[in-house]
Chain A
């Protein structure tokens, strides 16, 4: 049994590990939504990123290629979504759901077919230790703090970096302003010479690529690169809700993702917390584990309820969210 402090640190680490795919999914979705597209295809986009990235990574034993593959896989889904909703003006919600069904189906199809024909690549021992180990050498050996801050795989830090870069891009740069204008009021943006369609295309495709990275994280780091039929496991849907929780700010999404990561980790880690703090948490052992499965979704619902009751003045929701822009109807 670990000391109480160590138990807390282990649980927090687990929250970060499980929160990272959420952070990537959320950051990608924020890019989509801020430019005006409510993309409900996160789950499917992550699934495609997972299968392309994992296969490329396992086949080449190269983590960089895995990330690249996932990014391209995600971009592919983004491109379909953008083509349908922007060029063909299809309904965004329907298209997003279609991407989810299509992406999950494609991932299942490729994975099962390869498994069936015994061609699903297995990892080399070096690649396995790369995806199951990780951490910054020397720093991670500092007691407590090392484990808490420096013991993660590279993608955890990359995800934070991406979230911060996206935040700076959206709030501080000129091109971010153009992109926000396309999401807030595409007609006005158009009237000052912003190419709304191009802005949306760009952000959807890059955002979907980032979601793809979240997918490959699920495949390689959460599932250790072993195929199972449900790699994404609903994390994509939580990411959609997290966008609201984070008020459309990818910097806030960092904390929000870890909170939801913590909720997801509770099913497996609550018993450890309860035995580390028996006087405060002993009641928790009576909670059925099914409740922990439902917890992230219950909190999601609460967030939706509260955010709809309390219309914040400084809500980050773009006004033009979910609406296609018809230039002719201006």
Chain B
């Protein structure tokens, strides 16, 4: 009997310890009457790089800028995209804890959030990277969708890669294929950027079909370098794996979501020079205005007044001018002229997308006159990699429906 009890106690202690470890990462509860924001993250909120890190940085920035207390932000993390039960439970907990606004940072929360937005008209919902909302006649008008023209920065990264590659082969490890416009638009913009400075460049794409597969994120980069002669590797996935693989093989990489030059650096080295640059989100720019707007829908006691402001705010699709993203500092290994050319295009993007945009039938061409680079727009027909013409690419295509790769992209798996 004594033994049985000891066994039970030991096993219990182990399980409680593991559970305690997991719950240590989730938020705390607080039930006074102030405005509260609930946030859903896919990875642990303690991540120090990658997707969730970038979003959490933005949330913290908004919290500080708006003078909110820590207790006004409630975080639910480690919620995989496909775990509907976990996502639903997390949303219900946030509602029970009195959240006035719920922000979902990952694509997979889209349907669940829309369902809850329909049930709870007095809570503001904001969902990132997806395409569903609840705007329109007879709807609750309380859920928007947010994303940004990250393809603009991908284009800049493409310029850097196209200038720096010597083999003319660039590898791209991407989470999803033609079913996810967020990925194809990134690859396509990157390719167009690389082609603008290096017409013969080939972009080799390998698709993970997963948003979390650390072993293969590195493994795919290994394959691209060893089997396809790629000397610049870039990624649309969450871990440092691709940059780490590039570093190990003595080639270059371009990071995404967080500054990979910091993540793969050796001890005592601040920035790893093998990482040419990184494509970085600055989500704080959005979260600040979004939370600010949502707060206007409530009175000081946190009671719902009206969602007029939220309707006015609408779906959000930030561009370069909003400061929603940036390119990390260029490494010393970038080809000569990369910094100048990037600065030229950045200056164009700062004027908005009316003058020139990536997915149009105008290509950029760079020439050197009197030691200074000059950019000109030249006509071209945008084509996909099966030879079909691409015309009239709209915002709806870029965010929700871009089932093709542009010419110059070579996809190696399905």
Q: Which residues of A contact B (CB under 8 A)?
A: 1-2, 7, 10, 14, 80, 84, 88-90, 94-95, 98-99, 101-102, 104-106, 108-109, 112-113, 115-116, 118, 120-125, 128, 132-133, 222-224, 226, 228-231, 233, 264-265, 267-272, 275, 285-290, 293
Contacts and interface: CB of A to CB of B under 8 A. Distances in A.
Nearest to A233: B215
A116 B412 contact: no
A117 to B, nearest CB: 9
Interface residues of B, number: 55
Contact of A128 (B21, B223, B266): B266
B67 to A, nearest CB: 25
- The majority secondary structure among interface residues of chain A is helix
B208 A224 contact: no
Given A1-B228, A10-B226, A268 B206 contact: yes
B48 A118 contact: yes
Nearest to B53: A115
Contact of A226 (B229, B241, B412): B241
Nearest to B49: A115
A90 B6 CA distance: 10
Given A90-B7, A101-B18, A268-B216, A10 B227 contact: yes
A2 B227 CA distance: 6
Contacts of A105: 17-19, 21-22
Contacts of B24: 109
A122 B18 contact: no
Nearest to A229: B44
Given A105-B21, A106-B18, A229-B43, A88 B3 contact: yes
Given A101-B15, A223-B241, A224-B244, A267 B267 contact: no
B219 to A, nearest CB: 4
Contacts of A290: 209-210
B46 interface: yes
Interface in B183-211: 206-210
Contact of B10 (A88, A272, A275): A88
B288 interface: no
A7 B227 contact: yes
Given A105-B18, A233-B214, A289-B209, A268 B266 contact: no
A123 B266 contact: yes
B252 to A, nearest CB: 16
B414 A94 contact: no
A104 B43 CA distance: 16
Contacts of A108: 21-22
Nearest to A273: B227
A107 to B, nearest CB: 10
Interface string B6-29: 110011001101110110110000
Q: Which of A102, A264, A287 has the most CB of B within 10 A?
A: A102
B413 interface: yes
Closest 5 CB pairs of A and B: A105-B18, A132-B248, A271-B412, A272-B227, A268-B219
A121 B265 CA distance: 11
A231 B209 CA distance: 19
B248 A224 contact: yes
B277 interface: no
A268 B220 contact: yes
Contact of B264 (A14, A124, A226): A226
A125 B222 contact: no
B351 to A, nearest CB: 39
Given A1-B229, A10-B227, A268-B219, A228 B214 contact: yes
A102 B239 contact: no
19 contacts: A1-B228, A10-B227, A88-B6, A88-B7, A88-B10, A89-B3, A95-B11, A101-B14, A101-B15, A101-B18, A105-B19, A116-B48, A125-B266, A223-B244, A226-B264, A233-B215, A269-B223, A285-B412, A293-B209
A122 B43 contact: no
Interface string B240-274: 11001101100000000000000111111100000
B241 A121 contact: no
A286 B7 contact: no
B362 interface: no
Interface string B264-291: 1111110000000000000000000000
B317 to A, nearest CB: 30
A299 B11 CA distance: 32
Contacts of A120: 48
A133 B414 CA distance: 31
A115 B248 contact: no
B131 interface: no
Given A125-B266, A132-B248, A288-B414, A272 B223 contact: yes
A323 B397 CA distance: 61
Contacts of B43: 229
A226 B244 contact: yes
A104 B17 CA distance: 11
B218 interface: yes
A48 B234 CA distance: 32
Given A115-B48, A116-B48, A84 B11 contact: yes
Given A88-B3, A226-B240, 19 more contacts: A88-B7, A98-B14, A99-B14, A101-B15, A101-B18, A102-B14, A106-B17, A108-B21, A112-B44, A133-B248, A223-B214, A223-B218, A223-B244, A226-B241, A264-B215, A272-B223, A286-B414, A289-B207, A290-B210
Contact of B267 (A95, A104, A124, A233): A124
A227 to B, nearest CB: 8
B212 interface: yes
A268 B223 contact: yes
Contacts of A267: 216, 219
B209 A112 contact: no
B265 A122 contact: yes
A288 B22 CA distance: 33
B381 interface: no
